[in-house]
Amino acid sequence: MNQTPKKLRLTASLVTCLFLAGCAGGQFETAAPPSDNPSASTGELCTATQSPMTVSVGDTFADGEWVRDFYSGGKAQVKNGEVTLAPAPEAEGLLLIEAVDAPEQSFTWAGATVYFTVTDRFANGRTDNDRNFGRQPDSKDEIGTFHGGDFAGLTEKLDYLEELGVNAVWVTPPFEQIHGWVGGGDRGDFQHYAYHGYYALDFTRPDPNFGTREEFRTLVEEAHARGIRVVMDVVMNHPGYATLQDMQTFNFGGLREGFEKHLPEQWGDWQPESWEDFHAYHALIDYDHPDWTNWWGKDWVRAGIGDYDTPPNASIDPVRGSLAFLPDFKTESPKAVDLPAFLQNKENTRAKQLENATVQDYLVTWLTDWVREFGVDGFRVDTAKHVEPKAWKTLKAEAQKALDTYRNNNPGQPLPEEDFWMVAEVFPHTVTRSSYFDSGFDAVINFDLQEEVQAGAACLPAMESIYSDYSDKMNSDRPFNVMSYISSHDTQLFSRIADNDPAMQKRVASALLFTPGTSQIFYGDESGRRFGPTGSDGHQGTRSDMNWTDIENGKAEPVLSHWKKLGQFRARHPAIGAGEHQRLNAEPYVFSRTHGDDRVVIAFGKE
């Protein structure tokens, strides 16, 4: 450019700020960024014993019954309600006690271990699909660019997940994303592409950076062959931002008069001048241009541009408000709508005009088509509190019908199971039975454990009050389930909380995997994946590349092997997550979990 474009003024509607946000999917408006002192509250590790322990098993196992420690393989016979066993040297003072003749148990979501992957950052199975739609690396820190992870890479790592005891994998939204980038972070200091999947453009196609339809089908089928369910992340609150590249490709929106000369042949290749940041391109765009009707259209979204409605403040109206200034779908509208203009003209879309269909009807159809075609087992629902409850009840009902259709068309398969599963992201939900369980959800993400688990990672007995409280609440007269985590893409990595201490990262496995309810592992929790480049968006660093090199060269041991052992024990015993908790002894710390005929006793001894 020959001169510095004037910045858009913060005036009427959302014209200025709609596309300035650089946040990724998840809790845009509420989740706290990583702490400046993330290891402050982890505490000091207690010293675990390697000496034999005499453990009270209460009435969990009968006198004369033979039990074994799953970790060491050691066996003992119950006498006077006790057994004496020595923890394995690498077991961190743990005994994982089960009946020698324990029967195989049926799966339950309350006892599941869900492994959360950001597809683009997990494993690159095909390098020939790494560049699409003109997307480019920035040759700097690559904070917000596509890194190459895909369905093929995830499929190649399913054996690894099976060894971890994982019985469900949560994948970020697989849909075709906006083609271009937006300015990343508060300072616009990086190009932010939709590598994470939360900026959908076309809900009917997989993004080619992630792979093909057949590769997604193979992923689901290969996961099912290993007893691993597939939970797909879905968004009904918003599509993605408009970008320069998408404006050019799909002929919507418009530039300020005479400003086209400031753009390269491919608009997505625009670069700021030395005095500008990556937000500066907004000065080129005429947000009042009549051709914004060629985008989603005012009947589909609130966006505050052209003749679109302006969304209210999300803190005042969370359902109709805009998150991070993303266009807000009118899922509550009873009005029948036409297919958006840009999708009508998009050559490779599978989106079709639906008769007398609302925005909600289209979205539900598009999302459940993935269940009908591929046999997806469940949805993790993004930003659930920002869509009206009736929409979620409809989505659940239609997803169940879609699953029934898939099962009828694919008889004889052990998976998917009969019942479709949905878990809601509702920041800052805790362990409580809220109205979301009456709106189609089987579980809600629990945001409390990440902080609570830190003392337990240092010394497991600190978890007793938490375990007891969670179990009592979830197994009450009106039972419910939550999914708890120690790391996430929208909060922090536990490796950073623990200041990259391998001992703490090893110990936290027990604190998490023994927590009542569904446990979520964020990719790399088990291998010490480190916080990555983050720029002015504190959450970007949580989505660093999976540290496969550390696993392959042995650096991740013995943390990884410990996670595998505990994960396999949890997979054998749904009672750990779904069962009732009872403390049997304080020193050594001993507790039981029982669920039907599934029984375990877990002991931890310290010097």
Which residues are identified as catalytic?
A: 382, 425
Instruction: Mark 22-31 as b/e (b = at least 16 C-beta within 10 Å).
Output: bbbbbbbbeb
For 293, the 3-state DSSP assignment is helix
Instruction: Mark 522-561 as b/e (b = at least 16 C-beta within 10 Å).
Output: bbbbbbbbebbebbbbbbbbbbbbbbbebbeeeebeebbe
CA distance from start to end of the chain? 69
Separation between Cα atoms, residue 180 and residue 191, nearest integer Å: 9
Separation between Cα atoms, residue 434 and residue 220, nearest integer Å: 31
Separation between Cα atoms, residue 353 and residue 346, nearest integer Å: 13
Amino acid, single-letter form, for residue 239: P
Separation between Cα atoms, residue 217 and residue 222, nearest integer Å: 9
3-state secondary structure 299-314: CCEECCCCCCCCCCCC
Separation between Cα atoms, residue 523 and residue 543, nearest integer Å: 9
DSSP 534-576: -TT-TTGGGGPPP-HHHHHTTTTTTHHHHHHHHHHHHHH-THH
Minimal CA–CA distance to 570: which of 526, 527, 505, 513?
A: 513
| Residue 92 near residue 72, CB atoms below 8 Å | no
15: tokens are 């014209």
Minimal CA–CA distance to 518: which of 596, 412, 446?
A: 446
Q: In sequence order, which ranges of 140-212 are alpha helices (DSSP H)?
A: 151-156, 158-163
3-state secondary structure 495-515: HHHCCCCHHHHHHHHHHHHCC
Minimal CA–CA distance to 488: which of 445, 458, 455, 456?
A: 445
Phi and psi torsions of 467, nearest 5°: -60, -45
Separation between Cα atoms, residue 600 and residue 607, nearest integer Å: 23
197: tokens are 């999947």
For 413, the 3-state DSSP assignment is coil
Phi and psi torsions of 553, nearest 5°: -95, 5
| Residue 379 near residue 175, CB atoms below 8 Å | no
> Residue written as tokens 């699909």?
129
For residue 588, give every residue at least 6 positions away whose Cβ sits within 8 Å of its Cβ, in sequence order, or none: 49, 53, 55, 603, 604, 605, 606
